[in-house]
Amino acid sequence: MKRLYNLILACLLMVSLSACGKQAGADSSADKGMEPHGQTESAGTTEQTEKEQPAVSEAEQTEAQTENNLTDREEQKIEGGDNTVTGDISFNFETKTVLLNSGYEMPIYGIGTYSLTGDTCVESVTAALNSGVRLIDTAYMYHNEESVGEAVRNSGIPREEIFVITKLYPNQFSDAEAAIEEALVKLDIDYIDMMLLHHPGTDDVEAYLAMEKAVADGKIRSLGLSNWYVEELEEFIPQINIMPALVQNEIHPYYQENDVIPYIHGLGIVVQGWYPLGGRGYTAELLGNEVISEIAAAHGKSSAQVILRWNLQKGVVVIPGSSNPDHIQENTELFDFELTEEEMERIGALDRGEKHDWY
């Protein structure tokens, strides 16, 4: 009888310990979100918490994961510290793409369409697509969104394989919603891969928020800024909700932005350079530069290819403009050679802080 009594007592003790274990487990998985008094909740309440737990935990886990990723990125930024590419935005030279903070992949070389209009634009973009280019940069201000859209639609290449960037100009910021619709109609390619604000200007925050809404509506996939530098970014970013995925600024050997690039990379934002070859009117001087020509000869490549490769090795996406099919093809052949550290430094030493446009 006494043995039976002891057995019952032992069973009761085990059941009670097991209930405590469950409670402790629930407390630790709910973690910081739970108040200490939750520990005194009845077994019934505990069960209910446990049933609801997975959904809450999943959300918390995702949040925690995001925070971890950001922390990792910040740590990598600190480790990088210099001009190296850090975090998730490092270029994949195999796939020739970079993973944007929006989750989309973007090619690391493309074609710029400034000053290409009408048939010239259609033909240039078509030539680029035929050469394997999958990134196209246009803008409202280039008056060629229709032509870019036409070339994309007629290419026979699946839409998802092409990445189109366009931009809102400051005179559109006051009614950005209408401007976004206008871009969608002109391009006529279902959705816009990335939209940038072309320059800082009045109502730029409101315009960016309108682009954020278009992202939520599935009209635009990724957002970015153009001609935003350190001070402008510091002021702008706290006022928006979606971190820009890309900043497009003037970058070439005579204007290198060596302070700005690491700052932008440190935010997990991809950098893209405009006027990579110096811009029209300046290309002859830049391509004829003695150091660049010497390095080009050493690799059996052209000066343009050396400059574009130098950008890529600095973690800068290139969008050279061209209406010449031979140049367009040449500008894609950037992956069969590599600049040495010394060559990178020699080009780095050419910086003159010389802007080739006012913005």
Ligand X SMILES: NC(=O)c1ccc[n+]([C@@H]2O[C@H](COP(=O)([O-])OP(=O)(O)OC[C@H]3O[C@@H](n4cnc5c(N)ncnc54)[C@H](OP(=O)(O)O)[C@@H]3O)[C@@H](O)[C@H]2O)c1
Query: Least distance in Å: CB of 145 to ligand X?
Result: 12
Residue 102 in contact with ligand X, rule: CB under 6 A:
no
Residue among 46 and 113 whose Cβ is closer to ligand X: 113
Assess contact for 270 and 98: CB atoms under 8 A: yes
Interacting residues of 341 by C-beta distance below 8 A, sequence separation 6+: none
Query: Least distance in Å: CB of 329 to ligand X?
Result: 9
Q: Hey, how many other C-beta atoms are within 10 angstroms of the C-beta on 352?
A: 9
**Backbone CA torsion sign across 276, 279, 284, 289:** negative
Q: Which two tokens stand for residue 4?
A: 């039976």
Listed ranges 94-102, 236-244, 255-263, 316-324: which one lies at the site for ligand X (CB under 6 A): 316-324
Q: Which of 277, 296, 317, 347 binds ligand X (CB under 6 A)?
A: 277
Q: Which two tokens stand for residue 34?
A: 């739970």
Partnered with residue 111 across adjacent β-strands are 136
Residues of span 40-79 touching ligand X by CB under 6 A: none
Catalytic annotation on 254?
A: no
Annotated catalytic residue within 142, 208, 254, 275: 142
Q: Which of 126, 135, 137, 179 binds ligand X (CB under 6 A)?
A: 137
Residue 279 in contact with ligand X, rule: CB under 6 A:
yes
Residue 163 in contact with ligand X, rule: CB under 6 A:
no
Query: Least distance in Å: CB of 133 to ligand X?
Result: 12
Which residue of the chain is nearest ligand X when measured via CB? 321
Going by the DSSP 8-state scheme, the letter that residue 332 receives in this structure is T
Query: Least distance in Å: CB of 333 to ligand X?
Result: 10
Residues of span 324-343 touching ligand X by CB under 6 A: 324, 327, 330-331
| Cα-Cα end-to-end distance for the chain | 94
Assess contact for 249 and 227: CB atoms under 8 A: yes
Q: Applying CB under 6 A, what is the total number of residues that bind ligand X?
A: 29
Q: Which residue, among 310, 319, 307, has the nearest Cα to 344 in the 3D structure?
A: 310
Upper half-sphere CA count for residue 297 (Cβ side, 13 Å): 7
Q: Which of 107, 149, 224, 276 binds ligand X (CB under 6 A)?
A: 276
Assess contact for 105 and 91: CB atoms under 8 A: no
Residue 304 in contact with ligand X, rule: CB under 6 A:
yes
Amino acid making up residue 322:
S
Residue 244 in contact with ligand X, rule: CB under 6 A:
no
Please return the burial class of 256, using the count of CB atoms within 10 Å of its CB with bins 0-12, 13-18 and 19+: buried
Query: Least distance in Å: CB of 77 to ligand X?
Result: 25
Binding site residues, ligand X, CB under 6 A: 112-114, 137, 198, 226-227, 248, 274-280, 283, 287, 302, 304, 319-324, 327, 330-331, 359
Q: Catalytic residue numbers?
A: 142
